[in-house]
Amino acid sequence: MAKPIASSGRTTYLIDPVQGNDANPVGKTWKRIAKVNSIQLAPGDTVVIKAGLHEESLKPLGEGTADAEGWYESGPVRDQQVCSNQFINCGIEINPRTHSENPGEAVHENIRIEGDFFNDSGISARNVKGLKVIGNRFSNPTLPLQVKACTDLEIERNLFGAKQ
């Protein structure tokens, strides 16, 4: 695996599967989520994923603080939305590496996952305060949603066993 590119921080990374181009430099819109996964994110970075067909999971590299050491994010995520996407054989994993399983010590806050389609995949979330999973469609009829040590959950109007 190639050494990740380090972010300078406070940078917005844009993913648009329709209009993006992976040959673009940082600051311009990329096509695939894999481009963000190759960045060592820093505090203050933002990742914006536009609606479209995605065939890889978002797993950016980053260093956490003492409460979330060595986890795959830029630091605590606040007010993030993932809306109107198609995830084909990949999903969303929010899994900070932290020693705490105490819901009162949430690492992330206010993550909204709404109106997405998950084909043979799902959502896994841990240590999130204010997780909203609303109006999504999952091809798998069994519950492809796992939450642990999360508080202020809103899980509603999701359809399981859905067709694309």
What's residue 29's pLDDT? 95
Provide the domain count of the chain: 1
Q: Is 86 exposed, middle or buried (0-12, 13-18, 19+ CB in 10 A)?
A: middle
Would you state the pLDDT for residue 157?
Answer: 96
Question: What is the residue-level pLDDT of the chain in tens, covering all 164 positions?
Answer: 567 788 888 888 889 999 999 999 988 999 998 898 888 877 777 888 888 888 887 776 654 443 433 334 446 777 888 888 888 888 888 877 676 777 778 888 999 999 999 998 899 998 899 999 999 999 988 868 899 989 999 999 999 998 87
The amino acid occupying position 99 is H
- Evaluate whether 47 touches 62 at the Cβ level (below 8 Å): no
**Given this model, what pLDDT does residue 111 score?**
92
Collapsing DSSP to helix, strand or coil, 37 comes out as helix
DSSP structural state of residue 163: -
Domain containing residue 136: 5-160
DSSP class of 9: S
Alpha-carbon span 8 to 30, nearest angstrom: 18
Of the candidates 57, 79, 68, 49, which has an alpha carbon nearest to the alpha carbon of residue 123? 57
Q: Taking the model in full, what pTM does it have?
A: 0.65
- The reported pLDDT for the residue numbered 72 is 40
DSSP H or E stretch at residue 128: strand 128-134
